[in-house]
Structure 1
Amino acid sequence: MKELNNKNCFLTGAASGIGRSFALALAKEGINLFITDINMEGLVKVKEEVEALGVKVIAEKCDVSKFEDFDRCAKQFHSKLGDVDLLINNAGIARGVLLENINLDDWKKVIDVNLWSIIYSLKAFIPKMLERGSGHIVNVASAAGILGSPEPLSYMASKFGVVGISEGLYGQISRFGIKVSVIIPLYIKTNIFFSGEEAKYPKKLVDGIGEEKLQEISQSMLEEMYDKAKSPDSVVKKYIAQIKKDQLYIYDSKGLLSVLAMKGANPKQYEEFLVKLNRDFRTSREAHFSKFGINLDDYL
């Protein structure tokens, strides 16, 4: 899709972060937007920013974990804008739980929002895309969807699923004239880790330190990571350039490519890399807790 001017885009998770940056950057390209989010306060602000750029924009509340919400918004999109040229599945959440404290409700919520939302989007939009024989589907995954990172397991499982759906869809649907891309962000300044429910810790840790103190430590640790991340505005420009080239995989870090090469060419080295990556994260986490006078080994 080399030309975006006067095209129509459906975008989820548009109230902040990568979604907001996508909305503004695409508006500057002259694309009409149907933006959604569960956070209406943030979405209305983005709508006003987009309107100032002179394109048509519709904003609707949508809980992407519910098919009825997705279906309703898709019908409104087709009624008000017509054909979908660009479908961007960006909405996502993470729940920061320790391996020692797996919570099934958190797992279900993460899978519902991050993975089922992709399935719902296909159900809602693909029939008309097939009829027309055109369109471009863009799914936002994560580096945690291609390698075993220290991220919460539920988040990794959902993002590996997004990558798998995207690859499979690319192979199956390209013959109909429909393009597919999957974006693999690394560290981006978004509020995905701040906007979910508070991190959950094992009972022994909560009883020994206190919930309020734990949340303070968790927040400061996330803020340190956030400060080292890239801005969404800068990476979205690169994403759009690669979407225009109809690329399947879209990266914002060349370092990930070397890791993927290692995964195929030297499996033993990759196994060692996974262990070291997670060990380094644990060491960093323990060091951060020690700043507050807490030895995690006493509680885990």
Structure 2
Amino acid sequence: MKSFENKVAAITGAGSGIGRALAFGLARQGCQLALCDVNAEGLAETAAQARKLGVQVSETLVNVADREAVHAWADQVVAEFGRVNAIFNNAGVAQGGTVEGNDYADYEWIMNINFWGVVNGTKAFLPHIKVSGSGHIVNVSSVFGLFAQPGMSAYNASKFAVRGFTESLRQELDMANCGVSASCVHPGGIKTNIAKTARMNASLSSVTGQDADKAREQFNDQLLRTTPEKAAQVIINGALANKRRILIGPDAYALDGMQRLWPAFYQRVVTASMRLAARLSPKSSSKKAQTATE
């Protein structure tokens, strides 16, 4: 696809963050929108603002982990718009905790949304997109789909899985030469609500030296630097350029470069830096002071 004008795009997780910014960015290019989210209020707000940009918009409450609901939504989009040219599998959640500290339910929860949500969206929309004759599948992974770190095993696993799934899909579409392509997106720190709504358990403190709330606050303040609007524009441009991998933010490029340069050794660098940060954290310092006075 060389343009989104007069095309139809479906977006998951459109109620806030990158999903909302994608809706506005695509609408400004004359793209009709089929939006979904589990947050009714946020979804309605996105849809209302997008309609002001002069395009047709539909809004549907969908949990991407619900396979039947996603397939029903895809059929509904085609019935309403007559076609669909693109799916942006953007919906995602985060979770923090050590492998030992996490429950099996933590892994199941995040994989159902981050990975199976992408699989569900891709398989539900791909046949319809192929019928349109020209289209694109955009699956949002993360910089942590390229680069792992302690305390993020569940999130890393889900995002590495999205990367592998999408890279395999892209090669299959290249071989099929069917007019449809795919891109995998790897954002760095984006100013969205994902960190605020992340599930974190007490085991994370053994890695960060902080409790979950403090770790969340520091993550928001120090690591989330790129705006959703900037991220959306990079994604849209990357899809139009038919990029296989779309990196967003200087942090994403830096971590990707480190992993390429030191594919195994980077883990030692991360471990050393995390140990140092944990020792310097206020919680660790207060513990040492308390021990010294006892």
Q: Tell me whether 1:137 sits opposite 2:125 in the alignment.
A: no
Aligned residue for 2:264, secondary structure, equals helix
Q: Please name the residue that 1:229 is paired with.
A: 225
State the match for 1:52 in structure 2.
52
- What residue is the counterpart of 1:112 in the other structure? 112
Which residue pairs with 1:243 in the alignment?
Answer: 239
Change (3 A) 1:285 1:73: farther
Note closer, same or farther for the CA distance 1:86–1:20 as it changes in structure 2 (3 Å cut).
same
Q: TM-score, normalised by structure 2?
A: 0.88
Match of 1:209 in 2: none
Gaps of 5+ in 2: none
SS at match of 1:270: coil
Give the whole-Å Cα distance in 1 for the aligned partners of 2:33 and 2:151. 32
**Equivalent residue in structure 2 for 1:218, among 205, 215, 226:** 215
Instruction: State how far apart, in whole Å, the 1-side matches of 2:257 and 2:114 are.
Output: 26
Q: In 2, distance between residues paired with 1:146 and 1:7?
A: 31
The change in CA–CA distance for 1:292 and 1:6 in structure 2 (over 3 A counts) is farther
Name the counterpart of 1:186: 188
Q: Distance in 1 between matches of 2:89 and 2:205?
A: 39
Structure 2 Cα separation of the partners of residues 272 and 203 of structure 1: 23
Deviation at 1:262, TM superposition (A): 5.9
The CA RMSD over aligned residues, in Å, is 2.6
Q: Distance in 1 between matches of 2:225 and 2:278?
A: 18
Can you give the 5+ residue segments of structure 1 that lack an aligned partner in the other structure? 206-212
Note the C-alpha offset of 1:25: 0.8
- Tell me the alpha carbon deviations over residues 16-58 of structure 1, each in whole angstroms, 9 at most, x when there is no partner: 1111110111111111101111111111111111111111111
Identity over aligned pairs, percent: 28
Moved more, 23-32 or 270-279: 270-279
> Residue 144 of structure 2 aligns to which amino acid in structure 1?
A
Q: Do residues 96 (structure 1) and 96 (structure 2) align?
A: yes
TM-score (norm 1): 0.86
Q: Which residue of 176, 179, 187 corresponds with 1:177?
A: 179
Aligned mate of 1:293, from 271, 286, 290: 286
Structure 2: distance between partners of 1:239 and 1:123? 21
CA distance in 2, matches of 1:26, 1:237: 9
Q: How many residues align?
A: 285
1:97-134, Cα deviation, whole Å (9 max, x unpaired): 23441221010011000111111112211222334432
Change (3 A) 1:113 1:204: closer
Paired AA for residue 162 in structure 2: V
